[in-house]
Amino acid sequence: MQFEGTERYYLNPELREIVNIAIAMGKPLLLTGEAGTGKTQLAFEISRSLELTMEEARCKSTFKGEELCYVYDTVLRLNDSRFGSGETGRNVNDIWDYLRFGPIGRAFLAGDRRVLLLDEIDKTDSDAQDNLLDVLEEGSFIIREINHKVSARQTPIIIITSNAKRELSDPFLRRCFCHYIPFPPPDEMQIIVRLHFPDIAEPLLDACLTTFYRLREQGFEKPPATAELLDWIGALKSSGARAPGAGKEVNHIGTLLKRTEDLLKFRGVRRTSRF
Amino acid sequence: MIGFVYHLQDAGIPVSVQYVLEFYRALQRGLARNLDQLFVLARLVFVKRVEYYDVFEQAFASFFLGAEGTAPAVNWEELIAGKPFQEWLRDQLEQGLLTPEELREFDTEELLARFWETVLKQEGRHQGGNQWVGTRGRSPYGHSGHHAGGMRVYGQSLYGSAQKVIDDRRYINYSDQSSLSNENLRQVLTSMRSLRPLGPESELDIDETIAKTAKNGGEIELIFRRELRNRLKLIVMVDNGGYSMTPYIPLVKTIFTKLRDMFRDVTFYYFHNCIYGTVYRDPQRTQSVKWEKLVSENKSTRLILIGDANMAPAELMAAYGSIEMTHTIRKPGKEWLHELKTAFPVSIWLNPIRKDHWGRESTTIQQIGRIFRMEDLTLAGIKNAVSYMNIQGQTYDSQ
């Protein structure tokens, strides 16, 4: 099973090696790096290119880990036991009718190999991460209510992303392959932009990239990333601009800089001081 | 390959046995067909944090491409044929730690695992360990205590080495009586985590619901209980004035910062010796906090005071008692402390001075101990403090 890039996604050769090694070794791949470096996108591309179904879990801070495996809907069962399940076909005496599987559960139970994405794992607290560790490592979890063990029929390809909001624990890191995606340099960025805007004129692209990388170096609170660049170029193209603008007159600057302070700093407006 | 692992360890990258085994497994599968792939593979396996990327790249370059000119020896069979491994194996057999029968049963991986365990363990304790790679001939092992100052490989109980282990007192830092230090931080954290959780009442209590429903003759009644997560506020007040506290301040901060997850909010305030109507937000004690605001916190807020409570009696009892010359507060410290206790019923005073020394220090320790429950800053003391606060907290959490 070899993963190559797709026509919509530029794949750095190093990253390709990494993904393939992780797939071959059957280890979860933890991707870290700045927002907008395509961490989440990578998982989607793997599933597209290998034609595997995708199971996606967007983590929330309230997750305990278990709901990613299964949820036991007691309230529904209680309701059915009191008022009858009617025509829904659910059998109150059968607990399986009231178990709903989360992304991990579905990936484990599926007959085909799947891509499992755990997005922004750092949002969960460390206890939830510890719970998930064992599940992912052993490829199995237990449904506590009936003490039934669910084992993975096919080990899914596990991609985990983190924005490093919180430090991940050492045991967690130990069980993953970790890769930090650096921000793409200008030449790679050119390829990326071309994938999205195949008919962009060379001078415009060059000028845009120059402005873009210059802005990134200026130490804004939220430096513009790939997504902002693509938005910006899209805005320029649709408004028919020939050039990105220069100096303080950059067109559609709002698509690049999102924070008020950054915008004020860019325009050179000083905060009025009291003294 | 051993050389490379050592090289990484010397460079400061933490290496564990699992990594090494994983690396071999990957090599066996032919995942590193060229130097580029070897680089990516080794980095994936050995480096877990971006902080080490640079160190790793340098280590890799100097080992595989550097002046030593070592060819990338990816053949792991070489390792088994190599002298260090063979010598280790012989040692194990001679000492009866591995029987020939066992040897036949173990597969190579198991053997390698044991080998690396030994090597890495010894490396951790023995500074000159990498010399071993260079000389390649001398056995590094202390043969269970024969070798003066040598380290033991598995032979823990032979030739009186047990005595040495006891003398070393390597676990002293983990004992209940020891005071706070980096070594027992984890234990302290574990006991702090048992501070009673208090979440919103959003989790369905199934047993209770079924029982209630049955009692109602089938009419459903849903019972909710508190979710198991902590949404309390914690205030930590630290005396950063005296010498006795200085060594503990960073540790105390680490502990409570790590606990931040568990609480809705953890706030630090500082004071000097005793409290006279003001505590400060910064360690330099310049930004004061309004007393009225402080004492109007929710009653369930946990308060932990950390200080030696060791001061001149006048500082506590007399009017205008503050040690700071600029303070002109009439009300004596004792009354302020009483007010604080009333505002925060769930509170504890942690003292860095050991409990058995309290009698010998200033009488103020006893006097403050009558206002706040006082424990010392040892593991046992912290455990007591946590259970005390949990019991106290039950009364106020429901409000």
Burial call A101-132: b when 16+ CB within 10 Å, e when fewer: bbbbbbbbebeebbbbbbbbbbbbbbbbbebb
pLDDT score of A90: 83
Taking CA B248 as the corner, what is the angle to CA B243 and CA B251, rounded to the nearest 5 degrees?
A: 160
| B128 pLDDT tier (thresholds 50, 70, 90) | very low
- Residues in A touching B25 (Cβ below 8 Å): 25
- pLDDT tens for residues A228-268? 888 888 888 887 776 776 666 677 777 777 777 777 777 77
Bridge-based pairing of strands A177-180 and A29-32 is parallel
Residue of A nearest to B214 (CA): A82
Kindly report the backbone phi and psi dihedral angles of residue A198, in degrees, each rounded to the nearest multiple of 5, phi listed first. Answer: -60, -25
pLDDT computed for residue B186 by the predictor? 63
Beta strand ranges found along B153-293 (DSSP E): 203-204, 224-225, 233-239, 265-271, 279-280, 288-289
Mean pLDDT over B129-155 rounds to: 35
> Comparing C-alpha atoms, which of B315, B335, B316, B317 is closest to residue B325?
B315
Which tens digits make up the pLDDT trace of B173-201? 444 445 555 556 666 666 665 555 555 56
**B174 interfaces chain A, CB cutoff of 8 Å:** no
In the numeric block, the tokens 């009858």 are attached to A84
Alpha helices in A28-174 (DSSP H): 39-50, 74-83, 103-109, 126-138, 170-174
**What type of residue sits at position A147?**
N
Residues of chain A with pLDDT under 70: 1, 5-7, 164-167, 242, 245-249, 269-275
Is the ipTM value over 0.90, yes or no?
A: no
Mutate to test the interface with A, among B36, B40, B51, B55 (most CBs of A within 10 A): B40
Q: Name the percent of chain B in helix, strand, coil, to the closest 5.
A: 50, 10, 40
User: What burial class does residue A65 get, using C-beta atoms within 10 Å of its C-beta: 0-12 exposed, 13-18 middle, 19+ buried?
Assistant: buried
Q: What is the mean pLDDT of chain B?
A: 69
The rounded distance, in Å, linking the Cα atoms of B86 and B65 is 28
The whole-number pLDDT of residue B151 equals: 34
Under 8 Å between Cβ of A162 and A118: no
At A177, the amino acid letter reads F
State whether residue A34 is helix, strand or coil. coil
| Helix (H) or strand (E) run with residue B348 in it | strand B347-351
B44–A82 C-beta distance less than 8 A: no
SS3 category, A119:
strand
Chain B residue closest in CA terms to A172: B48
CA distance B73 to B334: 73
Out of B29, B47, B222, the one facing A24 most closely (by C-beta) is: B29
**H/E element holding B86?**
helix B83-94
CB contact under 8 A, A21 and B44: yes
Structure tokens at B391: 């019991």
Query: Phi and psi of B113, rounded to 5°?
Result: -60, -45
Nearest in space to A229 (alpha carbons), one of A260, A253, A246, A247: A253
